């Protein structure tokens, strides 16, 4: 079973999930079905991705019970002021009564607090089991917490070994905000010699070292692939463990790039 992290809402979120950006239509349906078959129990989508209906159909067709899958979707900032209608459309497309996590996709230019108040209401009445943000700075998170007394459960940000910043991670932890990283492969040189050496030592590929590093650092990671074989391989990270030295070496990839 994938290790999970507990959110400030009290619910749990698997540390390894499946990303669905840039896959639409039947490709999205097939990819999500393959992910659920491979064992993923966490799917990341967004209103902006235009694939919520396919994600929902794959969820239903997979036969995996709804309460075993953690589903995230996101509000585009230009939908500020139309939060309830946007969430209703997401729930309808996904075919679910509630999402496990609803994120503000990017900080809206104005009205961040007003949007957040709508998110708090959605959590209170059960349409979203947890609420959070994406692409926010710590100052922007503090603004929401101070204004409403409710701290985002998650901040989904561009992340990977080359972007590792222990201080930024600590800043989130001090506030009880879980860091969720996106674009783990796009931000990594998968041919980095240190990564290749560590991968060979464990008999895996560099991509899995990157994913394993996130999980051991307790950072949620949501790799995307449209290929069934890679989808399954990316999920297969339970059979090895990185030593403290290896983790530190991967932290240091930022310096080598
Ligand atoms: N909140 C935000 O603003 C935001 C922004 C970006 C992304 N996200 C989320 O984060 C998810 C992941 O990020 P991402 O899609 O940008 O990038 P990613 O997961 O870092 O990389 C995806 C790319 O890596 C390839 N890939 C997959 N597995 C691989 C492997 N084992 N070895 C080598 N290459 C591999 C994929 O190709 P194939 O498909 O051909 O396998 C694809 O080109 C997104 O899907 C989305 O859910 C959120």
> In angstroms, what is the span from residue 207 Cα to ligand 1's centroid?
11
> In angstroms, what is the span from residue 190 Cα to ligand 1's centroid?
13
> In angstroms, what is the span from residue 148 Cα to ligand 1's centroid?
33
In ligand 1, the atom with minimum distance to the C-alpha of 74 is: 1
Strands 12-14 and 4-6, by their bridges, are antiparallel
List b or e across 217-255, with b for residues whose CB sees 16 or more CB atoms inside 10 angstroms: bebbbbbbbeeeebbbbbbebeeeebeeebbebbbebee
In ligand 1, the atom with minimum distance to the C-alpha of 157 is: 1
Specify the residue for token string 């030295």: 245
Give the DSSP letter of residue 74. E
| CA nearest ligand 1 atom 13, residue | 183
Predicted model pTM? 0.98
> In angstroms, what is the span from residue 149 Cα to ligand 1's centroid?
34
How many Å apart are CA 117 and CA 150, to the nearest integer? Answer: 9
Does residue 210 contact residue 240 with C-beta atoms inside 8 Å? no
Q: Does residue 124 sit in helix, strand or coil? A: helix
197 lines ligand 1 (CB under 6 A): no
Per-residue pLDDT tens listing for the chain (257 residues):
789 999 999 999 999 999 999 999 999 999 999 999 999 999 999 999 999 999 999 999 999 999 999 999 999 999 999 999 999 999 999 999 999 999 999 999 888 999 999 999 999 999 999 999 999 999 999 999 999 999 999 999 999 999 999 999 999 999 999 999 999 999 999 999 999 999 999 999 999 999 999 999 999 999 999 999 999 999 999 999 999 999 999 998 876 55
In ligand 1, the atom with minimum distance to the C-alpha of 205 is: 31
Give the DSSP letter of residue 30. H
- 49 a catalytic residue: yes
Residue in 40, 49, 136, 182 annotated catalytic: 49
């Amino acid at each position: 079973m994938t290790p999970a992290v507990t959110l400030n809402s009290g619910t749990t979120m698997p540390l390894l999930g499946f990303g669905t950006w840039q896959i639409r239509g039947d490709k999205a349906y097939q990819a999500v079905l393959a992910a659920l078959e491979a064992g993923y129990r966490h799917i990341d989508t967004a209103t902006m991705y235009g694939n919520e209906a396919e994600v929902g159909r794959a969820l239903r067709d997979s036969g995996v019970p709804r309460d075993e899958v953690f589903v995230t979707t996101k509000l585009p900032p230009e939908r500020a002021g139309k939060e309830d209608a946007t969430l209703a459309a997401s729930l309808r497309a996904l075919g679910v009564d509630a999402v496990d996590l609803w994120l503000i996709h990017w900080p809206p230019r104005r009205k961040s607090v007003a949007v957040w108040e709508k998110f708090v209401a959605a959590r209170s009445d059960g349409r979203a089991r947890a609420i959070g943000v994406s692409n926010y700075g710590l100052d922007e998170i503090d603004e929401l917490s101070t204004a409403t007394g409710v701290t985002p459960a998650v901040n989904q940000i561009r992340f990977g070994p080359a972007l590792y910043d222990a201080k930024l991670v600590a800043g989130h932890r001090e506030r009880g905000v879980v860091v969720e990283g996106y674009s783990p492969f796009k931000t990594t040189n998968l041919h980095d010699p240190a990564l290749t050496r560590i991968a060979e030592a464990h008999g895996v590929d560099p991509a899995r070292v990157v994913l394993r590093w996130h999980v051991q650092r307790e950072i949620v990671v949501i790799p995307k692939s449209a290929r069934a074989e890679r989808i399954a391989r990316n999920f297969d990270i339970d059979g090895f463990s990185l030593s403290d030295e290896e983790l530190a070496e991967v932290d240091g990839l930022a310096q080598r790039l």
